[in-house]
Amino acid sequence: MTHRPEQGPAGAAGLVQISLRVALVDGKPTLPRVRRDGPRRAQRGPHGGRAERGSDVGESGRAEGATPGGGRPSGGPEGPAPGVDQTAVERQGSPRHVYGRNLVSFIVRVAKWPHEAFIANIEKAKALARTQQYVNEFLDDPQVLERHMAKLASLVSDVLGFDFIKDIIEPAQSQAVAAASERFANAPIAVSDEKAARLLPIAMKLMEPVSAVATLRGQTLLEQAVVLGVTAYETYVTDTVGVLLRLNATLMDRFTDELDGSLTYSKIRRHGRDSKEAATRVIVDKYPALDSGKVKGLFDRLVKNKNVFGTEARETSIRKFIEHRHLIVHRAGKIDRKFREKTGSKLGLGTTVELTTTFVMGGLSELSSFAGELQRMLEAEAQEGLEAEPPGDSPE
């Protein structure tokens, strides 16, 4: 009978090592994930240093369970220790901090396409805001266009080496005026009533672009910039949450109570009998993206981030911007008591909310900063590659 010696302190390469420490995740005792010897990907420790991915980092900044000399304790027998539930062990993420600190379960995958779509729409919203400024300038001061043309002509003249306006434009204008005067003097124009009646509708049609631009004077484009910007923010948050739940199955377990009470067969059937899609919709509906308090609570549960907005000032700014969107969409911009209470506005009830290019561009920049920081945080947590494109419709 062959005697198999016990594993010594050095252990055997490739054998499973298990820490029997108990950490608290969401207030419940859990077991860390099974670890194997071999190369590990690095992650940030609590003090900014590097720690091995798959290890738990304690207050000292050294991997918990490590020997004073930096080594590991002796390995145990292959497989889980006696009495340890293998399924429970494998199901747990590897918490970053233990013993009273916030525990962050690893995010396996995230997607980059929601943020790319957000950036594209925010840029469109900024273009609307800038265009409003130009439209107002051109319509309110006809000489603005002349000044712009003079600057352009000066630039062209510098490039060509001669005065473009004096040598080209002005002589051409003089020749055109002289030719027109001679033509009208020799053959006076006589327009019949029949011709006038036929040409009038055509002329009005040709004037439509000019009259349409004139209608945009004021803040019409600024209002649309606010609506588009907030919609881009809402879509980004919603899509990002959906991706996290779809690509990281265990995150759904954090919403068990809500799903137990809300996920009915009727809802599953409305989502093509896709229970995961239906569950995601339940969570998204419970935590709407346009409610900053709900968004904070949602990301606290998803990634253990107590305030995903970063600062109270940013959250307040974004919330105020969203309230302007609500007023434009639901009240055509007319001030009501709710808006005054939410934003602190002193404008009279029933008056139209006043927008400026500065305010709108500032609000869009706040949304961009929020989304950019959130995306960078999620990508830093991800263990695998980013999903580049949204998934196509699955076949029936």
In the numeric block, the tokens 């002005």 are attached to 170
For 74-102, the pLDDT digits (tens) are 444 344 444 434 433 333 333 333 223 33
Whether the CB-CB separation of 283 and 241 falls below 8 Å is answered with: yes
Largest CA distance in the chain: 128
Tokens of 396: 């029936």
pLDDT tens profile 1-48: 444 444 444 443 333 333 333 444 444 444 444 343 444 444 444 444
More confident residue, 306 or 105: 306
pLDDT digits (tens, 9 = 90+) for 274-297: 888 888 888 888 999 999 999 999
Place of tokens 């419709």: 393
The model's pTM is 0.64
3-state secondary structure (DSSP) of residue 16:
strand
Domain boundaries, the chain: 16-106, 220-381
- Indicate if the pLDDT at residue 245 is higher than 60: yes
Token output for 347: 């404008």
Identify the DSSP state of 167. Answer: I
Q: To the nearest whole percent, how much of the chain has pLDDT over 70? A: 72
Is a pLDDT exceeding 80 seen at residue 115?
yes
Residue with tokens 């304690």, as numbered in its chain: 58
pLDDT at residue 254 greater than cutoff 50: yes
Contact assessment for residue 390 and residue 113, using Cβ atoms and an 8 Å cutoff: yes
pLDDT digits (tens, 9 = 90+) for 44-71: 444 444 443 333 333 333 344 444 444 4
